[in-house]
Structure 1
Amino acid sequence: MAKKIRGLGGRSLKSSGGKKNDIMKLMQEAQKTQELMEQELKQFENELSIKEFEATSGGGVVKVIVTGDLRVKDIEISDELEDEEFEIIKDMIIAATNEALEKAKLYKEEETEKISQKYLGGLNFGM
């Protein structure tokens, strides 16, 4: 005798699209997160133009001030150097400028990383 097959009780074998809806919601959230992160990064880039970094060389007789967007804003040379050779002064200016630019670059990298981690740090892409 053949076994009777029970009915499905009104249940459908079709997928309700739950996974598809979950993926769409995830995509929308990711897009919103990306937009927020881009806005914050753009605001940060604008703030960099007014943020200042300074460095000195020659024991403080040369001071260079740069902005966060890597532009030299000012160079101060002490009167103590008026009798110094031009090449020595030039070397001190270069040293102070490079140090100030490095400070600005490092700050930008660290702050950009913080912003990225704020938005992307908690995401798990199943990797």
Structure 2
Amino acid sequence: MNRNMMRQAQRMQAQLQKIQEELETMTVEGSAGGGVVKVVMTGKQVVESVTIEPEAAEDVELLQDLVVAAFNDATNKTQELAASKMSAITGGMNIPGLT
């Protein structure tokens, strides 16, 4: 590997580290049932909070479905966030293992 490629690799590694740190502090909100259940998750997919409106507790099976849907929504949003951050570095190339 020549010097220029080595510098580029080191620069990309530093940028990736910065993005990983940013994702830890960024949050997304997933919701279901028109906002009856909300999940706030960091960009690193750590759940910070779950909010459930009282009327959702009346039907436990529906509540369970709404919680799953809200978590899935939040997870999808974190993946989209990470992908958009990574595309700034990779120029839109899909590099396996980076997201």
Scaled by the length of structure 1, the TM-score of the pair is 0.67
Is this contact kept in 1: 2:56–2:62, CA < 8 A? no
Q: Please point out which of 27, 51, 55 is paired with 2:26.
A: 51
Unpaired segments ≥5 residues, structure 2:
94-99
**Kindly, what percent of the aligned residue pairs are identical?**
28
Task: Select the structure that is richer in strand.
Answer: 2
Shift of 1:80: 2.2
Count of residue pairs the alignment pairs up: 93
Unaligned 5+ segments in structure 1 are 1-25, 122-127
Instruction: Find out whether 1:74 has 2:49 as its counterpart.
Output: yes
Deviation at residue 110 of structure 1 after TM alignment: 2.0
- Offset at 1:43? 1.1
After superposition, the C-alpha distances for 1:60-91 in whole angstroms (9 at most, x for unaligned) are 11111111001111100012223x22111111
Alignment of 1:1-127 (within 5 A): 27-82=2-57, 84-117=58-91
Deviating 4+ runs (over 6 angstroms): none
Query: Which SS does the other structure have where 1:69 is aligned?
Result: coil
Q: RMSD across aligned C-alpha pairs, in angstroms?
A: 1.8
Instruction: Point out which structure has higher relative CO (alpha carbons under 8 A, 6+ apart).
Output: 2
